[in-house]
């Protein structure tokens, strides 16, 4: 198995790009070309490939062209015997540093016996932790890279804590613990063992439903008594964390802590989308229109 030596982040704009990239997604047709999203572990880039070539998602291709906002590839070669880990986008910050920060906020904010018991059920389980550290935050919308779920979770916990402290939230522990658990369903909703996609369970149920199933399983397996109020509020926050029914929540936010969680979640997801646009756009100019934020950005 051969290891990749030259990565996207190593090549400057308008310089010759000679490397191999994985085909992650087919985007749209553009004349006699088709635009695909290509990736390696250092990032992603759009590329126009000849329409007649029809490469398959997950294939690794060797290309030689100038690095621009969108690559214009006249020809390419499909390669085999590649190391999968070289081609999946990965969080830039060391994942263990992210986990340390998550633990610090947890120790500060999750202090009741109920909260510690539910937290430890998940975050003292080695198999859960291993999967959590690998999981992505989304297929294409935000934090769509290995380790993205952990990074998103940390950011949402931090923002939740800040908002709780600033606005004197009555149930800070519930809010922060819910922030930590709000997207654990994505570990089973999304497939990140190759080109990112939804699992069958994810397509049928979605991460909110899966998350509630995980919480119910934990509550049934923990040898501890939980108050009805604790259970309802934790589950309520997870169910409501998208804020509105039209945004995917089974119920709209109707608790102080679920409003705070929704705002924290929305801010981090939006700013991550903007960060990705910034990485792929020139300063002092307009970016391309981005469907995720439904606008173009002046950078």
Would the pTM count as exceeding 0.85?
yes
Q: What is the per-residue pLDDT for 42?
A: 84
**Domain 95-277, CATH:** 1.10.3210
Cα-only R_g, the chain: 21
Q: What is the rounded end-to-end Cα distance, in angstroms, of the chain?
A: 41
The 8 Å CB, 24+ separation contacts for 229-237 are: 230/114, 230/115, 230/174, 233/171, 233/174, 233/178, 233/257, 234/118, 234/174, 234/177, 234/178, 234/181, 237/174, 237/175, 237/178, 237/182, 237/261
Predicted pLDDT at 4: 67
Q: What is the dihedral of CA 51, 57, 58, 63, to 10 degrees?
A: 10
**Is beta strand 33-40 parallel, antiparallel or unpaired with respect to 197-198?**
unpaired
Mean pLDDT of the residues in the chain? 91
pLDDT at 99: 98
- List of residues 6+ apart from 30 with CB closer than 8 A: 48
* Mean pLDDT to the nearest integer, 181-193: 96
Distances 123 to 222, 260, 261, 275 between C-alpha atoms, Å: 13, 23, 20, 29
Helix (H) or strand (E) holding 152: helix 148-166
CATH superfamily of 8-86: Nucleic acid-binding proteins (2.40.50.140)
What pLDDT digit, counting tens, does each position of 3-39 carry?
A: 667 787 877 777 777 888 899 888 888 888 899 988 8
Domains of the chain by residue range: 8-86, 95-277
More confident residue, 281 or 112: 112
**Phi, psi (rounded to 5 degrees) for 123:** -90, 10
Q: What is the mean pLDDT of the segment spanning 267-291?
A: 85
pLDDT value of position 279: 77
Q: What pLDDT, in 10s, does the model give residues 229-264?
A: 999 999 999 999 999 999 889 999 999 999 999 999
The mean pLDDT of 137-142, rounded to a whole number, is 87
Q: How many angstroms separate the CA atoms of 255 and 253, rounded?
A: 6
146 token code pair: 């290995």
Question: What's phi and psi for 5, nearest 5 deg?
Answer: -110, -30
């Amino acid at each position: 198995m051969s290891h990749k030596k030259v990565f996207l982040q190593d090549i400057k704009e308008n310089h010759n790009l000679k490397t191999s990239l994985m085909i992650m997604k087919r985007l749209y047709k553009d004349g006699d070309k088709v635009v695909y999203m290509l990736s390696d572990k250092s990032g992603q880039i759009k590329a126009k490939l000849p329409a007649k070539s029809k490469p398959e998602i997950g294939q690794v291709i060797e290309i030689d062209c100038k690095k621009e906002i969108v690559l214009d590839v006249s020809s390419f070669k499909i390669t085999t015997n590649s190391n999968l880990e070289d081609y999946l986008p990965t969080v830039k910050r060391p994942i263990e540093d992210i986990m340390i920060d998550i633990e610090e906020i947890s120790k500060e904010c999750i202090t009741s016996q109920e909260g510690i018991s539910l937290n430890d059920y998940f975050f003292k389980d080695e198999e859960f932790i291993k999967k959590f550290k690998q999981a992505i935050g989304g297929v294409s919308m935000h934090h769509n890279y290995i380790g993205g779920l952990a990074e998103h979770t940390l950011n949402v916990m931090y923002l939740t804590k800040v908002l709780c402290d600033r606005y004197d939230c009555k149930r800070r522990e519930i809010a922060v613990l819910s922030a930590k658990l709000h997207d654990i369903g994505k570990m089973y909703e999304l497939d990140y063992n190759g080109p990112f996609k939804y699992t069958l369970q994810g397509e049928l149920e979605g991460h909110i439903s899966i998350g509630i199933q995980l919480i119910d399983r934990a509550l049934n397996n923990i040898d501890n008594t939980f108050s009805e109020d604790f259970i309802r509020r934790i589950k309520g926050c997870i169910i409501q964390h998208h804020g509105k029914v039209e945004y995917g929540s089974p119920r709209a936010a109707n608790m102080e802590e679920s409003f705070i969680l929704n705002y924290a979640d929305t801010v981090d997801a939006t700013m991550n989308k903007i960060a990705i646009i910034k990485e792929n756009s020139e300063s002092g100019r307009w970016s391309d229109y981005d469907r995720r934020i439904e606008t173009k950005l002046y950078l």
